[in-house]
Amino acid sequence: MPLTTVKMCKKPLSTRQRARLVIGIAVLAVSLVLGMAVISNKSINSTDAVWNASQSSAASFTAGTVPGPQLTRSCQFRPGLLGLGARVRIFWRLPPGYTLDDVEVHASTSGLGSVLAPLTGFSVEGNTEGSPSQYQTDVPTNLLGGLLGLGSELEIAILVKDGNWTSETASIASNAGLIAGIGGNCRNLT
Protein backbone atom coordinates (compact mmCIF):
# COMPACT_ATOMS: atom_id res chain seq x y z
CA MET A 1 0.00 0.00 0.00
CA PRO A 2 1.43 3.42 -0.91
CA LEU A 3 2.21 5.73 1.92
CA THR A 4 -0.03 8.43 0.67
CA THR A 5 -3.05 6.28 1.13
CA VAL A 6 -2.38 5.44 4.78
CA LYS A 7 -4.25 7.71 7.09
CA MET A 8 -2.91 8.32 10.57
CA CYS A 9 -5.50 8.38 13.26
CA LYS A 10 -4.64 10.92 15.89
CA LYS A 11 -6.78 11.44 18.86
CA PRO A 12 -6.55 14.90 20.40
CA LEU A 13 -4.66 15.02 23.73
CA SER A 14 -6.62 15.67 26.87
CA THR A 15 -5.64 18.52 29.19
CA ARG A 16 -4.13 16.07 31.62
CA GLN A 17 -2.05 14.38 28.92
CA ARG A 18 -0.84 17.78 27.65
CA ALA A 19 0.21 18.77 31.16
CA ARG A 20 2.17 15.52 31.57
CA LEU A 21 3.87 16.05 28.22
CA VAL A 22 4.88 19.62 29.12
CA ILE A 23 6.20 18.52 32.53
CA GLY A 24 8.13 15.66 30.93
CA ILE A 25 9.74 17.99 28.39
CA ALA A 26 10.61 20.49 31.16
CA VAL A 27 12.21 17.77 33.32
CA LEU A 28 14.21 16.52 30.33
CA ALA A 29 15.41 20.05 29.52
CA VAL A 30 16.44 20.78 33.12
CA SER A 31 18.23 17.41 33.34
CA LEU A 32 20.17 18.14 30.15
CA VAL A 33 21.16 21.62 31.34
CA LEU A 34 22.31 20.32 34.74
CA GLY A 35 24.15 17.40 33.15
CA MET A 36 26.02 19.72 30.81
CA ALA A 37 26.90 22.00 33.72
CA VAL A 38 28.39 19.12 35.70
CA ILE A 39 30.32 17.77 32.73
CA SER A 40 31.77 21.16 31.84
CA ASN A 41 32.63 22.11 35.44
CA LYS A 42 36.37 22.74 35.55
CA SER A 43 36.62 23.20 39.34
CA ILE A 44 37.07 19.47 40.06
CA ASN A 45 40.77 18.81 40.02
CA SER A 46 42.62 15.66 40.98
CA THR A 47 46.15 15.51 42.30
CA ASP A 48 48.99 13.30 41.20
CA ALA A 49 49.56 12.18 44.80
CA VAL A 50 46.22 10.46 44.95
CA TRP A 51 47.00 8.24 42.00
CA ASN A 52 50.76 7.81 42.27
CA ALA A 53 51.38 7.19 45.99
CA SER A 54 53.51 4.12 46.62
CA GLN A 55 53.23 4.14 50.41
CA SER A 56 50.50 2.40 52.29
CA SER A 57 49.41 2.40 55.86
CA ALA A 58 47.46 0.08 58.09
CA ALA A 59 45.57 0.46 61.33
CA SER A 60 43.52 -1.59 63.71
CA PHE A 61 41.27 -0.93 66.65
CA THR A 62 39.84 -2.90 69.50
CA ALA A 63 36.86 -2.37 71.75
CA GLY A 64 37.44 -0.91 75.16
CA THR A 65 38.13 -3.39 77.91
CA VAL A 66 37.17 -2.79 81.52
CA PRO A 67 39.07 -5.04 83.93
CA GLY A 68 36.76 -6.96 86.21
CA PRO A 69 36.77 -7.45 89.95
CA GLN A 70 38.21 -10.69 91.30
CA LEU A 71 36.96 -12.96 94.05
CA THR A 72 39.64 -13.35 96.74
CA ARG A 73 38.08 -15.99 99.04
CA SER A 74 35.16 -18.37 99.09
CA CYS A 75 31.86 -16.63 99.74
CA GLN A 76 29.93 -17.27 102.96
CA PHE A 77 26.24 -17.75 103.59
CA ARG A 78 25.26 -16.18 106.93
CA PRO A 79 21.79 -17.43 107.92
CA GLY A 80 21.11 -14.99 110.77
CA LEU A 81 18.77 -15.92 113.62
CA LEU A 82 16.04 -18.25 112.36
CA GLY A 83 16.69 -16.97 108.82
CA LEU A 84 16.09 -13.32 109.77
CA GLY A 85 18.91 -11.09 108.61
CA ALA A 86 20.31 -13.79 106.33
CA ARG A 87 22.98 -12.51 103.98
CA VAL A 88 25.63 -13.61 101.55
CA ARG A 89 29.16 -12.32 102.16
CA ILE A 90 31.36 -11.92 99.10
CA PHE A 91 35.14 -11.36 99.31
CA TRP A 92 36.61 -9.54 96.33
CA ARG A 93 39.00 -6.85 95.08
CA LEU A 94 38.79 -4.02 92.59
CA PRO A 95 41.12 -3.62 89.62
CA PRO A 96 43.59 -0.72 89.99
CA GLY A 97 42.20 2.71 89.12
CA TYR A 98 38.58 2.01 90.06
CA THR A 99 36.53 2.86 93.16
CA LEU A 100 33.34 1.59 94.76
CA ASP A 101 31.48 4.29 92.79
CA ASP A 102 32.29 2.25 89.64
CA VAL A 103 30.80 -0.99 91.02
CA GLU A 104 27.35 -2.50 90.54
CA VAL A 105 25.91 -5.62 92.11
CA HIS A 106 23.54 -7.64 89.93
CA ALA A 107 21.40 -10.67 90.73
CA SER A 108 19.78 -13.27 88.52
CA THR A 109 16.14 -12.55 87.86
CA SER A 110 14.74 -16.06 88.21
CA GLY A 111 17.36 -18.54 89.34
CA LEU A 112 20.85 -19.58 88.33
CA GLY A 113 21.57 -19.00 84.66
CA SER A 114 18.86 -16.39 84.12
CA VAL A 115 19.38 -12.77 83.14
CA LEU A 116 21.39 -10.62 85.55
CA ALA A 117 19.87 -7.26 86.51
CA PRO A 118 21.02 -4.51 88.89
CA LEU A 119 20.04 -5.23 92.47
CA THR A 120 17.53 -2.51 93.36
CA GLY A 121 17.54 -1.01 96.84
CA PHE A 122 21.16 -2.03 97.38
CA SER A 123 24.04 0.33 98.16
CA VAL A 124 27.50 -1.04 97.40
CA GLU A 125 29.13 1.59 99.63
CA GLY A 126 26.72 0.94 102.52
CA ASN A 127 27.21 -2.83 102.45
CA THR A 128 30.94 -3.04 101.73
CA GLU A 129 33.92 -2.86 104.09
CA GLY A 130 37.66 -3.03 103.46
CA SER A 131 40.04 -1.59 100.90
CA PRO A 132 40.44 -2.01 97.12
CA SER A 133 42.76 -4.98 97.64
CA GLN A 134 40.26 -6.82 99.89
CA TYR A 135 36.58 -5.90 100.14
CA GLN A 136 33.79 -7.84 101.77
CA THR A 137 30.26 -7.11 100.66
CA ASP A 138 27.17 -8.38 102.45
CA VAL A 139 24.09 -8.87 100.28
CA PRO A 140 20.90 -9.25 102.38
CA THR A 141 18.84 -12.12 101.01
CA ASN A 142 15.59 -10.16 101.47
CA LEU A 143 16.73 -7.88 98.59
CA LEU A 144 16.82 -10.84 96.25
CA GLY A 145 13.07 -10.62 95.70
CA GLY A 146 12.15 -13.80 97.54
CA LEU A 147 13.93 -15.85 94.90
CA LEU A 148 16.59 -17.02 97.31
CA GLY A 149 14.79 -19.66 99.30
CA LEU A 150 12.87 -22.88 98.98
CA GLY A 151 16.02 -24.58 97.73
CA SER A 152 16.48 -22.33 94.68
CA GLU A 153 19.94 -21.19 93.69
CA LEU A 154 20.58 -17.60 92.65
CA GLU A 155 23.56 -15.87 91.04
CA ILE A 156 24.96 -12.65 92.50
CA ALA A 157 27.53 -10.80 90.40
CA ILE A 158 29.83 -7.83 90.99
CA LEU A 159 30.93 -5.82 87.96
CA VAL A 160 32.78 -2.60 87.16
CA LYS A 161 31.16 0.06 84.94
CA ASP A 162 33.19 2.60 83.01
CA GLY A 163 30.82 4.82 81.02
CA ASN A 164 28.75 2.47 78.85
CA TRP A 165 31.35 -0.32 79.13
CA THR A 166 31.09 -3.07 81.74
CA SER A 167 33.57 -5.64 82.93
CA GLU A 168 33.26 -9.37 83.20
CA THR A 169 31.57 -10.29 86.46
CA ALA A 170 32.88 -11.82 89.65
CA SER A 171 30.00 -14.19 90.46
CA ILE A 172 28.79 -16.45 93.24
CA ALA A 173 25.80 -18.77 93.54
CA SER A 174 23.81 -18.96 96.74
CA ASN A 175 21.03 -21.13 98.12
CA ALA A 176 19.25 -20.02 101.30
CA GLY A 177 18.20 -23.56 102.23
CA LEU A 178 14.68 -24.71 102.85
CA ILE A 179 13.52 -23.14 106.11
CA ALA A 180 15.14 -20.43 108.26
CA GLY A 181 18.43 -20.68 106.41
CA ILE A 182 18.98 -24.35 107.38
CA GLY A 183 21.19 -25.91 104.73
CA GLY A 184 21.96 -22.56 103.09
CA ASN A 185 25.24 -22.22 101.26
CA CYS A 186 27.09 -20.31 98.59
CA ARG A 187 29.89 -21.04 96.16
CA ASN A 188 32.15 -18.98 93.92
CA LEU A 189 31.38 -19.26 90.22
CA THR A 190 34.38 -17.32 88.90
Domains of the chain: 70-188 (2.60.40)
pLDDT at 46: 60
Residues 6+ apart with CB under 8 A from 82: 180, 181
pLDDT at 115: 76
**pLDDT of 182 higher than 80:** no
The whole-angstrom separation of Cα 93 and Cα 40 is 70
**pLDDT tens, residue by residue, 28-80:** 888 888 877 777 665 555 665 556 667 778 888 877 789 999 999 999 988 87
Q: Average per-residue pLDDT in the chain?
A: 79
- The model's pTM: 0.62
pLDDT at 75: 94
Most confident of 59-63, 79-83, 180-184: 59-63
**pLDDT of 5 higher than 60:** no
**pLDDT tens, residue by residue, 135-162:** 999 988 766 644 444 556 788 899 999 9
**pLDDT tens, residue by residue, 90-102:** 999 999 999 999 9
